[in-house]
Amino acid sequence: MKNIPDVKLGIVAVSRDCFPIGLSVKRREAIVKAYPGEIYECPVTVENEVDACKAARDVTAAGCNALVVFLGNFGPETPETLIAKYFDGPCMYVAAAEGDGDLINGRGDAYCGMLNCSYNLGMRKITAFIPSYPVGTAEDIAGMIAEFVPVARAVIGVKNLKIITFGPRPQDFFACNAPIKGLYELGVEIEENSELDLLVAYKAHENDERIPAVCEDMAAELGVTGNNYPALLPRMAQFELTLLDWAEQHKGARKYVAFADKCWPAFPKEFGFEPCYVNSRLASRGIPVSCEVDIYGALSEYIGACVSGDAVTLLDINNSVPVSMYEESIKGKFDYVLTDTFMGFHCGNTPACKMCADRAVKYQLIQHRLLEPEGSEPDFTRGTLEGDIAASDITFFRLQCDSEGVLRSYIANGEVLPVRTGSFGGIGVFAIHEMGRFYRHVLIEKRFPHHGAVAFGHYGKALYEVFRFLGVKDIGWNQPKTLPYPTENPFC
């Protein structure tokens, strides 16, 4: 099941009728030549409203789902903005720099035209992607287009996403509760089900003929040292097939899905295992399964998967790093103070490909304490994927609808340090510059829940543009010491 969109780009050049149309055509052709990827070159150069309709029809017929509108010269502000109105997909606006001709008959004034273009987009309330500096040579614009692709992929994905939930949020984890109003504003559909629905579907997959093949794949992924409970694999494989079939049968008119499932306290006893390892496997395929029915956590993970094109995870912003660990393993070796560090943890939902080599299927210690007899061997609390998360650049982020129905987000680039945690679960030592202040004046001040999505790489720039494109006004980030937060005490 392919769960991440493919972006098929098109490029349309525009031309103001008092400027040479050939200038726009020549410059458009140079961009297509400079761009290393695949891009459809629309033959219609837009000078008027009729041209705008023709161009939108042409790129749509060519299968394009994202569009670059290129001001090869000053550009006609009404027709060029109507293209975005007529085209069903994210649009990017860029403009040509001078230097490829004389400054009399070869001057295009697109630098000026972008101002009118932006003004007209605003009057029409059209959202478009405009790069940080949207004017450049063919090579510059080719680079801008490459940065647009992950943004477009995430926007297309969100607009075609259904989040499927099972069960209400667990007691004492209402922090993950959030109004679904924000989902509808973003264009996301939601299907809410009970755990009983999931249990019935799971039982219907008993003895499914596909189970042995999934077990074999699980065993290969885990290896000899990671497969602590071989007899448990058929149950987990049965559950994996249940979720995949549910996704296919219930996505309806939507193209993509993510899950937000209730994983405790009833789940392990009734299903006979913890769902964490299965969740990790789906996440590695671009199908996030968030813990504790965290709907906006699942949405955040899905956006991260679209932007990065890679596996993601969802973690608790969990515990502080002990001073002794900091002194022994971090201080003097990495450029972080103690309050820049914390541990990101969850029971075992991080994909195996993002963990250290000694990761293995284990049991959920906290649930074992809570649900099984003291001193007993773990039974139905088995099924977590545990170990240290591998050292990597990361982006910690979240999109959330607050209790007032307002969409908020945060983004911070950082890294997982190569430091042994000496703890349980899927866990890592994370470091983000100025995390202490960010924790207080963004995460706490703006009342974000304890779950954060993690993309493995630095994707803050693209995520910021995605959130802006989706209309999120409040985007928090880890500000440097020189830039105080509005709520920060100036006497601290």
**Same-domain status, 214 and 139:** no
Are β-strands 451-455 and 392-401 bridged in parallel, bridged antiparallel, or unpaired? antiparallel
Does the pTM of the predicted model rise above 0.85? yes
**Same-domain status, 296 and 348:** yes
Backbone angles phi, psi at 52, to 5 degrees: -60, -45
**Same-domain status, 114 and 164:** no
pLDDT digits (tens, 9 = 90+) for 301-336: 999 999 999 999 999 999 999 999 999 999 999 999
**Same-domain status, 54 and 141:** yes
What residues have CB less than 8 Å from 245, skipping those under 6 apart?
A: 201, 205
**Same-domain status, 151 and 164:** no
Q: Rounded mean pLDDT of 89-112?
A: 95
- The structure tokens listed for 171 are 């007691």
Does pLDDT of 175 surpass 60?
Answer: no
Q: How many domains does the chain have?
A: 2
pLDDT digits (tens, 9 = 90+) for 181-199: 999 999 999 999 999 999 9
**Same-domain status, 108 and 174:** no
- Is there a domain that residue 484 lies in? no
- Is there a domain that residue 326 lies in? yes
Mean pLDDT of the chain: 96
pLDDT given for residue 177 in this prediction: 67
Residue 462: CB atoms within 10 A of its CB come to: 25
**Same-domain status, 224 and 87:** no
**Same-domain status, 213 and 179:** yes
Under 8 Å between Cβ of 33 and 19: no
**Same-domain status, 147 and 275:** no
Q: Rounded mean pLDDT of 2-20?
A: 96
- Is there a domain that residue 207 lies in? yes
**Same-domain status, 172 and 103:** no
pLDDT band at residue 173 using 50, 70 and 90 as cut-offs: low
- Is there a domain that residue 3 lies in? no
- Is there a domain that residue 488 lies in? no
- Is there a domain that residue 487 lies in? no
pLDDT band at residue 412 using 50, 70 and 90 as cut-offs: very high
Does pLDDT of 1 surpass 80?
Answer: no
CA distance 334 to 396: 19
Of the residues 103, 134, 158, which one is the last residue of a structural domain? 158
pLDDT band at residue 169 using 50, 70 and 90 as cut-offs: confident
What residues have CB less than 8 Å from 375, skipping those under 6 apart?
A: none
Query: Which residue range is the domain that position 154 belongs to?
Result: 9-158
- Is there a domain that residue 4 lies in? no
**Same-domain status, 120 and 180:** no
Of the residues 158, 187, 221, which one is the last residue of a structural domain? 158
- The structure tokens listed for 41 are 């070159």
Of the residues 158, 177, 196, which one is the last residue of a structural domain? 158
pLDDT given for residue 54 in this prediction: 98
Instruction: Please report, for residues 8, 145, 153, 285, the alpha-carbon distance to residue 309 in angstroms, rounded to integers and kept in the order given.
Output: 15, 17, 9, 10
